[in-house]
Structure 1
Amino acid sequence: MQGCKPKVKVRVWLETAEGVYFGAGRMRLLKQIDELGSLRAAATALAMSYRAAWGKIKRTEEVIGRPLIEKAGCNREGYSLTPFGRQLLERFERFQAALEESAGALAADVLDILP
């Protein structure tokens, strides 16, 4: 296994007393909405019901107090991310990457089992 450098992976999410309001699952959902332009198609791609996807988005918007998605065009034309939704997605990805980098350095220092 020479040349295979181990990586430390971290799962992080944000929650209130009522439960999760943002994490990797919401991030994947927002990415799919952005790519597919449809909440229904995004839900299908992630093997979840439309109702579950809608509930996750609404829960996050409720806690954060800002919309993440908006209607694209006329009624039946789908959804797109709001500028804030896109910004949150990008920032959370950077946050996740920074956490993994820091966790890797800490693991190498503290655990002394990483090359």
Structure 2
Amino acid sequence: MNKNIDPPELGSTAALVQMDTHNPTIRLHLWLEGGEGVFFGYGRLLLLDKIETCGSLKKASEELGMSYRAAWGKIKQTEHVLGFQLMERAGSRRSGYRLTEAGRLVRDKYLEWFNKVEQDARARAEEIFPWKSKSFGES
């Protein structure tokens, strides 16, 4: 905080006017973890989406700015915890990968949960704070 500016007293009209000029974005960090650590979160959602669109774990990891080894490790960790495969070979060894039906289901259910929690967080923020907030995906 800038030492030259005295913050207005909370509850004062000046504080509410100053606070009302903000337009914050709701940002959430939601993940699922068990005894073996994190096994699914927004990063894995993005990774599965990229695998689906790129058809390749290598290309997906490159587009997300992560190493192939890190991407492979995250997928394998999740598969180990859940007990089923998220991706499978899309034919020959050079054909790349595609999501399994279970992989698409986990991705879609996580996204559904994330969106509902984000909507609720946004509604609660608007009840509590004097400003109108927006979701992360909004411009």
What TM-score results when the alignment is normalised by the length of structure 2? 0.73
Question: Whose Rg is larger?
Answer: 2
Aligned to 1:113: 130
Is 1:65 matched up with 2:103?
A: no
Given the alignment of the two structures, is residue 100 of structure 1 paired with residue 100 of structure 2, yes or no?
A: no
Q: CA deviation at 1:113?
A: 2.3
Q: Which one is further off, 26-35 or 12-21?
A: 12-21
CA contact (8 A) 2:36 2:81 kept: no
Provide structure 2 residue ranges, at least 5 long, that are not aligned to the other structure: 1-21, 133-139
1:8-54 deviations in Å (ceiling 9; x for gaps): 33220111243211101101100000000000111111111111110
What amino acid does structure 2 have at the position aligned with 1:71? R
The aligned amino acid for 2:56 is S
What is the deviation of 1:6? 4.9
Give the Cα–Cα distance (whole angstroms) in 1 for the partners of residues 54 and 118 of structure 2. Answer: 28
**What root-mean-square deviation, in Å, do the aligned CA atoms of Structure 1 and Structure 2 show?**
1.7
Among 16, 24, 45, which residue is 1:27 paired with? 45
The range that moved more, 74-83 or 10-19, is 10-19
User: Sequence identity, in percent?
Assistant: 44
CA distance in 1, matches of 2:27, 2:65: 24
CA distance in 1, matches of 2:102, 2:59: 21
Q: For 2:38, what is the secondary structure of its paired residue? A: strand
TM-score scaled by length of structure 1: 0.87
Give the match for residue 44 of structure 1.
62
